[in-house]
Amino acid sequence: MISSDYTAALCARDSDAKILLLIIDGLGGLPHPSTGKSELETAHLPNLDELAASGSCGLISPLGPGHTPGSGPAHLALFGYDPWRTVVGRGALSALGLGVDFAPGDVAARVNFCTVDDGGRVTDRRAGRISTEKCAELCRRLESIDIPHVSVSVVPEMDYRAAAVFRGSGLGDEVGDSDPQTTGLAPLALQSRGADSERTKEAAESFLRQAAERLRGESPANMVIVRGFGSYPQIPQMEDVYGLKAAVVADYPMYRGVARAVGMEIVPTGSDLSSKLQALTDRWPHYDFFYVHVKKTDSAGEDGDFNGKVRLLEEVDAFVASLRDLGPDVLIVTGDHSTPSIMASHSWHPVPMVISSNWSLSTGVATEFSERGCLGGSIGQIPSSSLMALALAHARRLSKFGA
Amino acid sequence: MISSDYTAALCARDSDAKILLLIIDGLGGLPHPSTGKSELETAHLPNLDELAASGSCGLISPLGPGHTPGSGPAHLALFGYDPWRTVVGRGALSALGLGVDFAPGDVAARVNFCTVDDGGRVTDRRAGRISTEKCAELCRRLESIDIPHVSVSVVPEMDYRAAAVFRGSGLGDEVGDSDPQTTGLAPLALQSRGADSERTKEAAESFLRQAAERLRGESPANMVIVRGFGSYPQIPQMEDVYGLKAAVVADYPMYRGVARAVGMEIVPTGSDLSSKLQALTDRWPHYDFFYVHVKKTDSAGEDGDFNGKVRLLEEVDAFVASLRDLGPDVLIVTGDHSTPSIMASHSWHPVPMVISSNWSLSTGVATEFSERGCLGGSIGQIPSSSLMALALAHARRLSKFGA
């Protein structure tokens, strides 16, 4: 379940030192063909560059050479878990992040409102990106769905997205998606493996049939598609493993979810950086470890918006100065994975990382916080799942192994 | 038991080539805040710098990112064993290093003479650092201790330190320490796990009761505390694994002990560098592999004595020239772990390392033997447990794997 850095559990010791981990989603990039400079190299980042020049720099790899992670595995690696073996369904992460009633034994799935034509083919996987308010209204309409021996609750997330939680006896989560991932096709028939997951599949089929009835005549959101079935995750908690009282400052439910899955408490925050800073300031005395998440850089990368990502990085740079002023004993800035704008997708490229603390070793070579700048740092290239041990070490929260 | 470098055993082949491994204890450091230079960067090290400029440089990590090792795991990693899984109690290392009668089935513990007050509370964990002679006299006084079905021998080590070897049938080593690690508290009650270790615990309790009687009225050493229970280690031996006839040149019992645990023979030596050189010269024809240990650099680091560590490194530098003159086919200089003076403790930071041989690859970048200098070397950052395979390779003592 846990990587070799679960060894951290053997060595964790108490301390007052605070660790602040800033995750800039999709941080890493690649050079723009016309300038030869990556997003980080193009952006003006005086605070991050200063941090890189004085801290320990390196690059972290979420899954090892060549493998591109989704957000779930990428974050589980950051928190010290083996991302290949600690698998949590995306639906479970959403449900956890939304803070809905979701408990061991339940299975959650992500729900997208969509548009289907008279032949049942999906014409818009996002139902014209209906508003969150409309989504909430439609979720309420699905409340009356009745499935034998299984209760289901449907909770709005953002825009056309929602989450469904199935509760019943002996429900497995090995159920495939109905989302065809493209338009022009009918939703996929659900597949399952094993008797427990067969029960979940039957409940989900009943849910989909009844949802179609209740949404008939609605426009544009006249159907739902489901994906990412996942049981309530039972993962060793950060307080037990690392002795850390940890909090998450993130606005997207999915990131709150992965943080809750490892035992962090959710600090309420808005999506802008100033409200995140306010949330941190308010709760600063109450936790040992803060995970702060910035989403928009990844979205810009996925949209192929090179200049947009550059601008967002510059905004984050100013935010970094404020984080420093909070006085964490250890400040780490990195990303969950790379999202090069020229690829318009997540990628496998290792992610720049800096650790700022009293026990850091700057090299004089890594003077720029970037993919190439961090290559000259003292940490080298390490698995993302080794980062937590380094975080604890720099906070002097790990004791010696062996006499 | 053994790391992936046990693969070396598959490929070991015979050769006349000699390997000399110089371990400078606690070698790695961090920059002094007032100069920005580490101990190695501050010291004048013409021989080590020349070695770095002409050899293959890199950094080795005993336990992976973030984890700080004790001396036992750090050395087992250097010798190619998995330090997380090859656990040898410190008492066993002491007993091995002292060369006392210690055999499979026996359990050894470290013994400190200490001072307790009338209430039984420890007031000095080192009994005023009594002399080694006094320690020997008190050990003799403990010889008359009589425990049913178990024999115990107590052997002086240095100053207030001794080792006890328990011999009997079915003795386990999962017994906790009585050392409270601080003053003002009574020694801890011994804890054990399992029936075999329960037997050891009962014997040790009897030993402690009788020791208290025999030392009553003595000042300052009127009691003992025990710690680091460990069975005689049964670890694959270097001759079998690597085909090496190996010797250790170290003055501290603990380092002789870890070397003996992996099958090295002990070459008698004093603590100064000239007597170590003499010991090496005398035995040079008789072994394939020499492990030479220098302790004082670590002690200076632990004392927070930055300048003292710098001076000691300069002494070692002159010693390196003499080692080179012996003409080893492979000369490796590194440390077991880092002990930055500014932390006054062992740390997790990777340790500078250089391999000098006919098959080394210098880079022209690593021209200084230091934490940052070695970052520019051709080896990169590797686990300490990979070092033995590199040592054998550079001695052409590993054959090709596969046709």
Burial of A367 (0-12, 13-18, 19+ CB in 10 A): middle
Point out the residue among B66, B72, B84 whose CB comes nearest to the CB of A393. Answer: B66
Q: How far is Cα B35 from Cα A300, in angstroms, rounded to an integer?
A: 43
> Which stretches in chain A have pLDDT values below 50?
1-5
Question: What confidence category does residue B13 fall into, taking pLDDT thresholds of 50, 70 and 90?
Answer: confident
Residue A9 is predicted with a pLDDT of 61
List of chain A residues whose C-beta atoms are within 8 Å of the C-beta of residue B346: 400
Contact flag A7-B84 (C-beta cutoff 8 Å): yes
Residue A3 is predicted with a pLDDT of 40
pTM exceeding 0.95: no
Q: How far is Cα B43 from Cα B93, in angstroms, rounded to an integer?
A: 33
Contact (Cβ atoms closer than 8 angstroms) between residue A59 and residue A122:
no
Q: How far is Cα B275 from Cα A67, in angstroms, rounded to an integer?
A: 54
Spatial neighbors of A131 by CB under 8 A, at least 6 apart, are A159
List of chain B residues whose C-beta atoms are within 8 Å of the C-beta of residue A386: 64-66
What is the DSSP annotation of A228-244? EEEEPP----HHHHH--
Residue A1 is predicted with a pLDDT of 31
Q: How far is Cα A357 from Cα B294, in angstroms, rounded to an integer?
A: 30
How many beta-carbon pairs below 8 A join chains A and B?
88
Q: Which of A115, A141, A140 is nearest to A129 (CA)?
A: A115
Contact flag A398-B343 (C-beta cutoff 8 Å): no
Contact flag A402-B70 (C-beta cutoff 8 Å): yes
Coil vs helix vs strand at B355:
strand
Coil vs helix vs strand at B3:
coil
Q: How far is Cα B337 from Cα B275, in angstroms, rounded to an integer?
A: 24
Point out the residue among B65, B70, B371 whose CB comes nearest to the CB of A403. Answer: B70
Classify strands A289-294 and A19-24 as parallel, antiparallel or unpaired.
parallel
List of chain B residues whose C-beta atoms are within 8 Å of the C-beta of residue A389: 64-67, 348
Selected residue with higher pLDDT from B9 and A32: A32
Contact flag B90-A389 (C-beta cutoff 8 Å): no
Burial B156-167 (b: 16+ CB within 10 A, else e): bbebbbbbbbbb
Q: How far is Cα B136 from Cα B46, in angstroms, rounded to an integer?
A: 43
Contact flag B340-A359 (C-beta cutoff 8 Å): yes
Supply the mean pLDDT for chain B: 94
List of chain A residues whose C-beta atoms are within 8 Å of the C-beta of residue B73: 401-402
Point out the residue among B30, B63, B380 whose CB comes nearest to the CB of A401. Answer: B63
Burial of A285 (0-12, 13-18, 19+ CB in 10 A): exposed
Q: Which domains does chain A show, CATH number per domain?
A: 4-88+235-394 (3.40.720.10), 93-231 (no CATH)
Interface of A with B (CB under 8 A): 4-5, 7-8, 11, 359, 361, 363-365, 376, 378-380, 382, 386-393, 398-403
For residue A268, give Cα distances in angstroms to A252, A256, A316, A336. 11, 10, 20, 21
- Residue A334 tokens read as 């990195």
Contact flag B30-A393 (C-beta cutoff 8 Å): no
Residue B227 is predicted with a pLDDT of 94
**pLDDT over threshold 50, residue B154:** yes
Question: What confidence category does residue B158 fall into, taking pLDDT thresholds of 50, 70 and 90?
Answer: confident
Contact (Cβ atoms closer than 8 angstroms) between residue B9 and residue B81:
no
**pLDDT over threshold 50, residue B402:** yes
Classify strands B19-24 and B330-334 as parallel, antiparallel or unpaired.
parallel
List of chain A residues whose C-beta atoms are within 8 Å of the C-beta of residue B30: 359, 361
Contact (Cβ atoms closer than 8 angstroms) between residue B156 and residue B139:
yes
Q: How many CA atoms lie within 13 A of A19 on its CB side?
A: 28
What is the DSSP annotation of A333-373? EE-SSB--TTTTS-B---EEEEEESTT----SS--S-STTT
List of chain B residues whose C-beta atoms are within 8 Å of the C-beta of residue A390: 65-66, 348
Q: How far is Cα B191 from Cα B171, in angstroms, rounded to an integer?
A: 14
Phi, psi of B175 (to 5 degrees): -125, 135
What does the pLDDT look like over B245-301, one tens digit per residue?
A: 999 999 998 999 999 999 999 999 999 999 999 999 999 999 999 999 999 999 999
Residue A87 is predicted with a pLDDT of 87
CA B257 to chain A, closest CA, distance in angstroms equals 13
Contact flag B90-A363 (C-beta cutoff 8 Å): no
Q: How far is Cα A135 from Cα A159, in angstroms, rounded to an integer?
A: 6
Contact flag B349-A364 (C-beta cutoff 8 Å): no
**pLDDT over threshold 60, residue B2:** no
CA torsion sign for A47, A51, A57, A62 is negative
CA B362 to chain A, closest CA, distance in angstroms equals 18
What does the pLDDT look like over B364-398, one tens digit per residue?
A: 887 899 999 999 999 999 999 999 999 999 999 99
Q: How many CA atoms lie within 13 A of B189 on its CB side?
A: 2
Q: Where are the alpha helices (DSSP H) in A113-181?
A: 132-141
What does the pLDDT look like over B169-192, one tens digit per residue?
A: 999 999 999 999 899 999 999 999
